[in-house]
Amino acid sequence: MDLDALVAIDVHTHAEVDDHGHESLPPELMAASAKYFKGAMADGRAPSVDDLAAYYRERRMAAVVFTVDAESVLGHPPIANEDVAAAAARHPDVLVPFASIDPHRGAAGVRAARRLVEEHGARGFKFHPSLQGFFPDDRLAYPLYEAIEELGVPALFHSGQTGIGAGTPGGGGIRLKYSNPLCLDDVAADFPGMTVIIAHPSFPWQDEALSVATHKANVYIDLSGWSPKYFPPQLVQYANSLLKHKVLFGSDFPVVTPDRWLADFETLQIKDDVRPLILKENAIRALGLR
């Protein structure tokens, strides 16, 4: 990957369908997500990882890509991490593969995590506490974090509201309480050698996320899932100051496109010297790409 040739690194994109047509979520949750994000994937076709690579290559960007293993809660088999890694390996100039392990998989999940990094080239892990049904500071996940810390790769955690299940009866059974970013404070303290990325403006817990990221040197925040024009003012203030080296560009593609995100980011009151940090330089450091 030619880092100098890239204009940006998107640290948050989703593999929604594999090479065999299997989608990452049950159809009703996929539909609810598309409705929540107002027309995303309006043609009804989720992009493949190859499509995603072509999209980012055309824009001279790189992207972190992952799926979510939440089978124990959703009862829906995830896209295989090995398939995501293999697809990303076809496009090493633009794609950085992350894996996802359901913490409820226990020792088998720990073994899988090691294999995915050592044999398949995974460069980090994605967790979605609300979909996976666990508090990040629950000790059931600690053996998995121990492996991730030892492997020297980052862990990215969904935080705050989720569009998945939004507007459906009972929210599709998905519980928001698991995604309070304050739960990551224990994780960051107990695993100081593991880079933790808090995904999204953390509505309704933005101040908690800012507090954890300011206090813990190993914690970053990605800005995915929202148009920048809706960022709360305190997030913009911290991005311009105390957290200027710890805030990362992320879109949440395909539900939010980088084209839309970047167009709105242009109008945001971000200092000129901070923009390149958010768009690329902070991600290079957080992901260990150099």
Strand bridging mode 219-222 / 196-199: parallel
Q: 118-141 pLDDT, tens per residue?
A: 999 999 999 999 999 999 999 999
pLDDT at residue 288 is higher than 70:
yes
Confidence band of 38 (pLDDT split at 50, 70, 90): low
pTM of the predicted protein model: 0.95
Average pLDDT value for residue range 97-106? 97
Task: Return all residues near 17 (Cβ < 8 A) that are at least 6 apart.
Answer: 23, 24, 46, 47, 48, 79
- Using a 10 angstrom Cβ sphere, with 0-12 exposed, 13-18 middle and 19 or more buried, the burial of residue 38 is exposed
* CATH code 1.25.40.10 for 3-287: no
Confidence band of 110 (pLDDT split at 50, 70, 90): very high
Q: Where are the domains of the chain?
A: 3-287
pLDDT at position 20 is 78
Other beta carbons within 10 angstroms of residue 34's beta carbon come to 18
Q: What is the mean pLDDT of the chain?
A: 93
Write out the two tokens for 130. 């609300």
